């Protein structure tokens, strides 16, 4: 279960992404919990409990290749950049 501490972590992470220059940012927090009972020949072989958490980001920024006005300089042809 996602608790308020996890939500605060997501908010802080999004703030950091915006401060680093992302125009927009999306964060996805996933948490799953699994219990597994394996049997062998009708008897319990093993019991497993797993908790998995992940935090992923999608960052969106203005590309200076397509929007050179953000650098206050004329646009260069793509071939000159490589």
CB 56 within 8 A of CB 28: yes
Q: How many CB atoms lie within 10 A of CB 30?
A: 10
Distance of alpha carbon 66 from alpha carbon 71, whole angstroms:
11
pLDDT, tens digit, for every residue of 28-49?
999 999 999 999 999 999 999 9
Q: What's the mean pLDDT in 7-23? A: 88
Distances (CA, A) of 28 to 3, 13, 23, 54, 66: 14, 11, 17, 8, 28
Report field, pTM of the whole predicted structure over 0.75 = no
């Amino acid at each position: 279960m996602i608790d308020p501490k996890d939500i605060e972590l997501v908010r802080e992470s999004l703030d950091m992404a915006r401060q680093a220059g992302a125009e927009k940012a999306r964060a996805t927090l996933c948490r799953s919990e699994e219990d597994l009972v394996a049997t062998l020949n009708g008897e319990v072989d093993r019991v497993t409990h797993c908790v998995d958490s992940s935090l992923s980001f999608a960052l969106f920024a203005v590309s200076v290749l397509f929007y050179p006005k953000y650098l206050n300089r004329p646009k260069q042809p793509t071939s000159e950049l490589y």
